[in-house]
Amino acid sequence: MTSSATIDNKMASAASTQPSAQFADITRNDDTLRRFLHGLPGVDQVGAEARAASLGTRSIKTTAKAWAIDLAIRMVDLTTLEGQDTPGKVRALSAKAMHPDPADSTCPATAAVCVYPDMVGVAKEVLGNSGVNVAAVATAFPSGRAALDIKLADTQDAVQAGADEVDMVIDRGAFLSGRYKQVYDEIVAVREACARPDGSSAHLKVIFETGELQTYDNVRRASWLAMMAGGHFIKTSTGKVQPAATLPVTLVMLEAVRDFREQTGVQIGVKPAGGIRTSKDAIKYLVMVNEIAGDDWLDPDWFRFGASTLLNDLLMQRTKLTTGVYSGPDYFTLD
């Protein structure tokens, strides 16, 4: 097993090299990757769950709560990923992302609209240069079970259609079988497929499906694997498997991005997705971000919520703070 001190030495050395070469020694084959990933400090399950529960009890004052709600709205990837999605639904969702509360011009827009690749063009047509990004799930979402050439074609189709961000899923079967190099190489290949002809690139979010990873140690290992492979964000879940996002899992991922930046100077974003439905839930996550990673992550560039129903509760709470009166649950459009 690799000691924590050895890991620190390797990562400190890696930070002084170019990003493309930082992890060459660690990622050259399954054996080196396994030694590194299994040498990461283990997660104290009881401690992680107790810390997450403790942070979830923090109270927020009214002024801070208003700020937190607006920030959470700005962090939402407003999502529809159903087989029954239609162009009309995606257009309506995109319009809502730009103007979540049409009656209040001070209400901020969401970070992105997240759709299947075939709906990217529809969303892009509505969103234009509004500043709301289009995110597309890809790589045989949600299972991740497809040949690499199909995954890359899926990604390229989304980028060519105008996707600003790509949410890929890892092959959990490969990861759980210890085929870390295969997972690493796929993430690298998908990131390369995110490149545009002008030299820019869609941002890549790497989805773990933490409900299938079985242990917090595996979540930590997947986090480091994705970050070393060049993912811009690490994401908990597809929203199709339960449990999806949880506070303890997100805590482990936040520790990973914090430690990764300390060792490399590279900041990576975190996106919990699935099961976050209320303002109270969202604020718990924001408290955790501040306490575990730091306030640099309290920004839509570095933290997102993947959600379809969260936005409406945020809007209801926002209206209550503004007017003193709760709106009915059907006051805002149902998505």
Over residues 81-111, the pLDDT tens digits come to 999 999 999 999 999 999 999 999 999 999 9
The pLDDT confidence band at residue 21, using thresholds 50, 70 and 90, is low
Per-residue pLDDT band for 13 (boundaries 50, 70, 90) equals: very low
- Helix, strand or coil, per DSSP, at residue 207: strand
Dist CA 305 CA 80 (whole Å): 13
Cα–Cα distance for residue pair 127/218, rounded to 1 Å: 37
Three-class secondary structure of residue 260 per DSSP: helix
Cα R_g (the chain), whole angstroms: 20
Question: Mean of the per-residue pLDDT values for the chain?
Answer: 91
Cα 79 from Cα 66, distance rounded (Å): 23
The tokens 């009915």 sit on which residue?
Answer: 328
Catalytic residue among 101, 154, 164, 167: 167
Q: Over 50: is that where the pLDDT of 4 sits?
A: no
- pLDDT interval class at 5 (50, 70, 90): very low
In one-letter notation, the amino acid at residue 248 is P
Task: Give the phi and the psi of residue 247 in degrees, each rounded to 5.
Answer: -65, -45
pLDDT band for 60, please (50, 70, 90 cuts). confident
Give me the catalytic one of 10, 124, 205, 271.
271
pLDDT score of 335: 65
Burial degree of 143 (CB within 10 A; 0-12, 13-18, 19+)? middle
Of 19-23, 137-141, 277-281, 319-323, where does mean pLDDT reach its minimum?
19-23
CA distances 296 to 12, 110, 301, 302, Å, are 21, 19, 10, 8
Band the pLDDT of 331: cuts 50, 70, 90.
Answer: low
Q: What is the pTM of this model?
A: 0.91
Residue with tokens 């339960």: 242
- Of 151, 181, 235, 284, the catalytic one is 235
Q: What is the pLDDT of residues 272-324, one digit of tens each?
A: 999 999 999 999 999 999 999 999 999 999 999 999 899 999 999 999 988 77
Q: Is 167 a catalytic residue?
A: yes
pLDDT at 329: 62
Residues 192 and 231: beta-carbon distance below 8 Å? no
Q: What are phi and psi of 70, to 5 degrees?
A: -65, -40
